[in-house]
Chain A
Amino acid sequence: MASIKLRASAKDGVTTIKALISHTMETGTRKDKKTGKKIPAHFIQEVVCTHNGSTVMTANWSPAISKNPYLSFKFKGGASGDKIALSWVDNKGEKDSHEIAIK
């Protein structure tokens, strides 16, 4: 919950999803300026978004997705009140999910 900001709006039969996730998205190639050591990679690998339980989007990500990732997409269908759920899993096995209703 805490890491995901999710918006879903339906208009003319098309639902637009906008998501903002707070995550460091560490590449694993960056160095700590103080110690000169590489910072281990830590990034979201998979994002799944469902509409009333059926998957509308599966995003597979590399560390090349910017810090605090933004994702937006559209799908046909969806009405006010429908459930939209989004979840992510990162390379360390950490995860989070959030569910909202379409406005």
Chain B
Amino acid sequence: MTSMKRRIFLKGSLATGALGATIGTGLLTPRAALAAWSKEAFESKDINSALSNLLGSSDLAASDKIKIKAPDIAENGAVVPISVSTTIAGAESISILVEKNQLPLAANFVLGANTLGDVSTRIKMGKTSSVVAVVKAGGKLHSTGKEVKVTIGGCGG
């Protein structure tokens, strides 16, 4: 009987110990101060505010000069290959947003003067959603979207 009690006591104290430690580290996560990385944009919860914070506008003009290459059905939402290419002249940046992710802005690629509008990467998707590619050129925003069905979400939780 006494040994049983001791075991329960030990278990309890171990659990609270671990809890205290994780809460401590969670609060003290260091935030690197990066000039270029827009915290407001990446923490925006909808596409419009993400775009306003990132590019200064959320005024999108639909364009057929942007192509998104992505699977129609992604079996694993943790790894969805996405390629965005554009033939718009003077493209300055390409942004990839996932409408139904908790935080829609996935990536923003700032292109150099000689860089072609053609980037590929792999993203995570929480659930079936529209993937939006936004190209900034000459102060205007051009966009196109593509629906990607997700079988298993990849954002954890």
Contact = CB atoms under 8 A, between A and B. Distances in A.
Given A29-B156, A60-B107, A62-B106, A67 B78 contact: yes
A57 B103 CA distance: 23
B141 to A, nearest CB: 16
Given A66-B123, A75-B115, 19 more contacts: A45-B32, A56-B112, A56-B114, A57-B109, A57-B112, A57-B119, A60-B38, A64-B105, A65-B124, A66-B79, A70-B120, A70-B121, A71-B120, A72-B119, A73-B115, A73-B116, A75-B116, A92-B29, A92-B30
Interface of B: 18-19, 22, 25-26, 29-32, 34, 36-38, 42, 78-81, 98, 101-103, 105-112, 114-116, 118-125, 154-157
Interface in A44-94: 45-46, 51, 54-67, 69-77, 89-93
Nearest to A59: B109
A62 B114 contact: no
Given A57-B115, A66-B78, A41 B123 contact: no
Contacts of A14: 116
Nearest to B35: A46
| Interface of A, helix, strand, loop or mixed by DSSP | strand
